[in-house]
Amino acid sequence: MELLFIFINSYIVGFSGAMMPGPLLVVGLSETPRHGWKTGPIISTGHAIAEIFVVIILSMGLVAVSENSVVTAWIGLIGGAALIGMGIMMGYDILTGKVTYDAISAKQSSQLLALKGITATLSNPFWFVWWATTGLAFLVKSLQFGVTGPVVFYFGHILSDYTWYTFVSVSLWRGKKLMVGKTLKNLILLCAIFLIYLGITFIIDGARGFI
């Protein structure tokens, strides 16, 4: 049951990043007219390749760390604070109209789509910050279940990318407008609220490590 909880949480948190404008979304929007609906799944695969190495490397290094309650407590506190900060910034940007999909554009190139997915992922500074804070905290929690934990976390996380970017590509390829306006705004606000809630639970769990 707890593994299912990790999977669901990682899936929802993954949407909070995928739905926000960034390099990977730029690639999806610019390449779909040429490559069709398959653009979303392919760039998501590139993104997943970049992330699997991060999960493996961090998990291997965290095996010993996860047994130290003080260290894991600090990781939980920092990760929780990052989640809350992320949620607040997301909510603020949406409510103030700072997030827009209308101005997104990208230069065309002949690179393979999967490679573009990897490149777009590695070119996003937010991606590195996320894994150094929130991702780290998630992995520490998941390691309580051995190797299975990080695997469940990883698949839940990347499934949100596949879901969102496939939806974007299919919508554009079929000639429909990307789901914007009030509906998307409300979805992102819900993600922001969930991030804040999850951040609070991380901080509470982290604080218990000092007791």
C-alpha to C-alpha distance for 152 and 142, rounded to whole angstroms: 8
pLDDT tens by residue, 131-148: 877 788 888 888 888 889
Give the pLDDT score at 156: 92
C-alpha to C-alpha distance for 37 and 11, rounded to whole angstroms: 22
Name the region of 100 (left: φ>0; alpha: ψ -120 to 50; beta: rest): beta
* DSSP string over 129-157: HHHHTHHHHHHHHHGGGTTHHHHHHHHHH
Share of the chain above pLDDT 90, in %: 11
pLDDT bracket for residue 65 (50, 70, 90): low
pLDDT bracket for residue 109 (50, 70, 90): very low
In contact, 79 and 202? CB cutoff 8 Å: yes
Structure tokens at 21: 């404008």
Higher pLDDT, 105 or 164: 164
In contact, 192 and 53? CB cutoff 8 Å: no
Domain residues for the domain of 12 are 2-208
- Tell me: pLDDT of 29 over 70: yes
From residue 130, give the alpha-carbon distance in Å to each of 17, 68, 140, 147, 175: 9, 22, 14, 21, 34
pLDDT tens by residue, 178-195: 555 666 677 678 777 877
Helix axis angle for 125-132 and 134-142, nearest 10°, is 40
Helix axis angle for 148-173 and 2-18, nearest 10°, is 40
Name the region of 178 (left: φ>0; alpha: ψ -120 to 50; beta: rest): beta
Give the angle subtended at the CA of 171 by the CAs of 190 and 29, to the nearest 5°: 85
Mean pLDDT, residues 99-108 taken together: 50
Q: Quote the mean pLDDT of the chain.
A: 77
The tally of domains found in the chain comes to 1
pLDDT tens by residue, 33-54: 778 888 899 999 999 998 898 8
| Nearest residue to 22 via CA among 88, 101, 118 | 101
64-68, 163-167, 204-208: which is most confident: 163-167
* DSSP string over 172-187: HHTTPPPS-THHHHHH
Higher pLDDT, 5 or 129: 5
Higher pLDDT, 124 or 117: 117
SS3 for 40-53, per residue?
HHHHHHHHHHHHHH
- Tell me: pLDDT of 201 over 50: yes
In contact, 20 and 157? CB cutoff 8 Å: no
**Least confident interval from 14-18, 66-70, 102-106:** 102-106
Q: What is the largest CA-CA distance in the chain?
A: 57
Higher pLDDT, 64 or 162: 162
Predicted TM-score (pTM) of this structure: 0.71
Higher pLDDT, 179 or 79: 79
